[in-house]
Amino acid sequence: MADGRLPILRPEGNVPESPRLHPGAGEEAAVPVLLTRREDATSWFESKVSGALGWARANSLFQYPFVTACCGMEYMSVMCGRYDLARFGAEFPRFTPRQADLLMIVGTINVKQSPVLLRVYEQMCEPKWVMAFGVCASSGGFYDNYATVQGADRVIPVDVYVPGCPPRPEQVLDGLKILQEKIQTQRHVLHSVERSPEMREDKKRSFLGKLLAK
Amino acid sequence: MAQALVDLLRDNFKEAVLSSHSHRGDEVAVVRRESVQEICRFLKDGEARMQLLRYIACVDLLTYDTEMTGGGALASNEVPAYDLAKKAPREPRFQLGYNVYSVVRKQSVRLRVELRSDDVKVPTVTSVWRTADWWERYLFDMFGIDFIGHPNLKRILMYPEFQGHPLRKDYPTRKRQPLVAELEFPDLIRGPGPGPGGAGVPMSQTHVGRKNVDPTTYD
Ligand code: SF4
């Protein structure tokens, strides 16, 4: 609020979501638990590695523009010379979801299209983030009718919403900065095995943890 | 202007043309549903030379007398609940409009066909104008008009799983038919809770002025 802007709401967000590493003012710090020295050292290293990975991931977002409607015009504007999203580390649109980290939903999502959007999202490799570009993708916008999905977050989880019909390029840049902040504060592990439930307890270590445990 | 066209129609189809009038310079001929095909054939191949079918449109007049002229529903920002028992349905309920144009004569004329709600069948004009194919599929999709003899009468805009016809006035305005299961997502403003929008209320019901909508017709 220091710069007069509304606080950024941080929802329980997208995969992979994790506790904040550096809680802000007003948020509770992580409850300290008993750690062995090795675990202490591991988590310290992990937090450093996570910070570096977050920095790298936040500044090399490869986007997949899922352009469906008139917001596409503004997308072109934001990618071109005057505003140039590439300056902020979202350089290159990839037109295959398999090579992208950031799914930009640019335009109206109607019901007939929602399976396609879901398929595109599922084809993206982890880690992945989603930006809803324009009010149509965020909430359905003024298409409050039988044909339109009332927000892309009904179909796939969305990380950042950029309102506006269409949003100004500055808003998109702002949304990208917010997303980068989110990525920076997420916990990134080199190799996560914690998600598969069938893993045995002693194997629940990250790659770095295994390396240090040797 | 195009009055000559209507006179031509009246001369050639004495029983088929029920009435005609002019609305702001547009000639309208109300024709019988059974003879729409031969009238169209006559208009295209005869001396009228109407080679271009601009569009076929449909109007549902179900709530025309109540909602449109009442004013009360328009002044309020609440979505009126569709209580058809309290509204006098209008018959014939559907009006089809065929807007045809002659490039040679630079004149257009509109044919109107009126359909009662218990019998929404009309002969196809696909054999006259090829472009009528998609217009008739569109009207079938949106209004459920049954075009007899159409070669491929199926939905053109909505997905095949869709139930009902969305532009009919008795289709619930806020009814949704999602194709993929909708996510349980947290409501950022009101916090998490049961139901799709958090706190037990669907997200789309949390908009201002829409609290009184019948939940069964809603989402
Ligand atoms: S938000 Fe506005 S500009 Fe963007 S797709 Fe929707 S209607 Fe078009």
pLDDT digits 0-9 by tens, B6-65: 888 898 888 889 888 888 888 999 999 999 999 999 999 988 889 999 999 999 887 776
Residues sharing a CB contact under 8 Å with residue B63, sequence separation 6 or more, in sequence order? B82, B87, B169
Are A96 and A64 within 8 A, CB to CB?
yes
How many Cβ atoms are within 10 Å of A34's Cβ, its own excluded? Answer: 6
How many Cβ atoms are within 10 Å of A23's Cβ, its own excluded? Answer: 12
How many Cβ atoms are within 10 Å of A136's Cβ, its own excluded? Answer: 28
Whether A153 sits inside 8 A of B185 (CB atoms) is yes
Q: Give the model confidence (pLDDT) of B85-94 as tens digits.
A: 566 677 888 9
**pLDDT at A93 > cutoff 90:** no
Which among A10, A112, A117, A182 is the top mutation candidate for probing chain B, defined by the most B β-carbons within 10 Å of its own β-carbon? A112
Q: What are phi and psi of A160, to 5 degrees?
A: -140, 135
Structural fold of domain B2-66+77-174:
Beta Polymerase; domain 2 (3.30.460)
Q: Give the model confidence (pLDDT) of A28-50 as tens digits.
A: 544 445 556 766 676 777 778 88
What string of DSSP letters covers chain B? -THHHHHHHHHH-TTTEEEEEEETTEEEEEE-GGGHHHHHHHHHHSTT---EEEEEEEEE-TTIIIIIHH-HHHHS-SPPP--GGGS---SS-EEEEEEEEETTTTEEEEEEEEE-TT--EEE--TTT-TTHHHHHHHHHHHH--EEET-TT-S-SSS-TT--S-TTSTTS-TT----SSPPP----TTT---SSTTSTTS-GGGGSTT-TTS-GGG--
Whether B173 sits inside 8 A of A149 (CB atoms) is no
Whether ligand 1 lies within 6 angstroms of the CB of A134 is answered as yes
- Asked if the ipTM is above 0.85, the reply is no
Are B13 and B37 within 8 A, CB to CB?
no
Residues sharing a CB contact under 8 Å with residue A113, sequence separation 6 or more, in sequence order? A68, A149
Whether A146 sits inside 8 A of B176 (CB atoms) is yes
Both tokens of A139, joined, read: 């909430």
A155 has a chain B CB within 8 A of its CB:
yes
**pLDDT at B3 > cutoff 60:** yes
